[in-house]
Amino acid sequence: MAKHSDQKLKADETFQQYKARVMDSKSASFCGAKWYYSTIWLGSGMTTSCHHPLPHRVSEDEVRANYKALANTAIRKRERAEMQQGIRCHGCDYCWRIEDLGGDQISDRVYKTVLYDDLALEQAYTSDASQDFDLKYLEISFDRTCNLACSYCNPAFSTTWVKDIKNNGPYEVLVTDAQDHYTHAHGDAGKYDHADENPYVEAFFKWWEADLNHTLTHLRLTGGEPLMSKHTWKLFDWFENNSRELYFAINSNLISKPDIINKLITASKNISDFNVYTSCESVGARAEYIRDGFEWNTWTNNFDTLANEPGIKLHSMCTIGAISLGGLVEYLDWCLVQKAKYNKDTPTFTLNIQRFPKCQSPLILPMHIREGYASQLAEWRDTHKDSGHLHAMEVEHLNRLIDYLQENNNQLGPPGYIEQLQKDFKSYYTQFDARRNKNFTETFPELTEWYNTL
């Protein structure tokens, strides 16, 4: 990810130095995201600070009485108080785990704090924990409508996934899936799928009109597939009539017909800093396996169309689960070809480690396989890090992933649990193959020998 122009690193300051100066001087667990950053799923009324902590629900009554409750919940206020005292709040485990890897590891806590100026961070640190804060960075999902059913997703985020469960029934015998990702259609997430009125969407547009259009420096639309939501186009209509300076991002799978891509291009003209984030982590058949419904040729054509639009910046988000690793170097090569063709920012890439469901984590792979992937990635990094095509953030993401792959997997659970996760891995992909007409061992031959032992 590129360093945004309003990030508050001093000249020549490293992220480590920034952390010591701005964050550690406040408390050992301070993170600006807890005050100024929110991810909100309006289709279900779920909210969290950044996207890492598990979300929690805002009540309809609360949000009807106070639209700012969308991101100023009692849980959120308690976690802010904990961070003021240096307590590691339970929900932010993702960052603590990265930091506990040792050395100079930089977690997202730093990247998500450096977005705000020092004064705003001081105000957060010294605030009364009961106070409502207006957001500066918002990631929002209007609904879960989506044309894909990716293997690392679930019905809470995709209506195509809902169809799989409704048509084929729940996935069976996934002992370790305590959160029941695949056993039901997640009706709560789609409570308003066909309703005329959604109090959470209404609260968002009220807050948007009153404050957010002024206070937000970053707005990101996510999904489902946001290009399939009528509310996305309502927001684009607002920008047609109102001018605001902000960093605007939309997460799109880019499996859309040309007329939708052209509408997106038209909408981009009304927004000064327009960014499209799209997920991929492998090339060709591997990508089409991981992301069911994905079409490599459609995606690369749409990528090219947008890359040729001067006002649009393109970013690639790679979700790194166990099955993403075998094709990752080939995908990074593809990214490098695009960077050479267009520029260093087209695309930027991030490597986002998948944690849930645990049976898809990279850490369920045997150490010899993980070490093989880690050394391929290290070789790729060492070959290209001085090519002029990679951002420091991209190299840091590679470093982080390489270290993570060499971690002991006992962080996944107690002794014996890893074997159950591996069994669930096979159980999941066996059922996925049958439902989606796919073939795991043909697609990931380097894993076949191990897979067949499970």
Q: How far is the CB of 157 from ligand SF4 (least distance, A)?
A: 4
Closest C-alpha to 346, from 381, 298, 394 = 394
- Contact with ligand SF4 (CB under 6 A) among 43, 224, 226, 327: 224
Q: What is the 3-state secondary structure (H, E, C) of 157-205?
A: CCHHHHHHHHHHCCCCCCCCCCCCCCCCCCHHHHCCCCCCCCHHHHHHH
| Cβ-based neighbours of 416, under 8 Å, separated by 6 or more | none
Residue count of the chain: 454
Contact flag: residue 278 with ligand SF4 (CB under 6 A): no
Residue pair 113/23 in contact (Cβ under 8 Å)? The answer is yes
Q: How far is the CB of 341 from ligand SF4 (least distance, A)?
A: 25
Contact flag: residue 46 with ligand SF4 (CB under 6 A): no
Closest C-alpha to 421, from 365, 379, 375, 367 = 365
Per DSSP, what are the bridge partners of residue 248? 219, 274
Place of tokens 């087209």: 346
Q: Segment 89-108, which members bind ligand SF4 (CB under 6 A)? A: 92, 94-95, 108
- Contact with ligand SF4 (CB under 6 A) among 43, 53, 55, 190: 53
Q: Segment 149-168, which members bind ligand SF4 (CB under 6 A)? A: 149-150, 153, 157-158
How many residues touch ligand SF4 (CB under 6 A)?
A: 25
Q: Which two tokens stand for residue 129?
A: 């924990």
Per DSSP, what are the bridge partners of residue 138? 38, 219
- Contact with ligand SF4 (CB under 6 A) among 22, 23, 33, 290: 33
Contact flag: residue 223 with ligand SF4 (CB under 6 A): yes
Per DSSP, what are the bridge partners of residue 221? 140, 250
> What residue type is assigned to position 80 of the chain?
R
Contact flag: residue 271 with ligand SF4 (CB under 6 A): no
Residue pair 191/201 in contact (Cβ under 8 Å)? The answer is no
Contact flag: residue 358 with ligand SF4 (CB under 6 A): no
Q: How far is the CB of 240 from ligand SF4 (least distance, A)?
A: 26
Between 291 and 313, CB nearer to ligand SF4: 291
Between 88 and 344, CB nearer to ligand SF4: 88
Between 163 and 214, CB nearer to ligand SF4: 163
Binding interface with ligand SF4 (CB under 6 A): 31, 33-34, 49-50, 52-53, 92, 94-95, 108-109, 112, 146, 148-150, 153, 157-158, 223-225, 253, 291
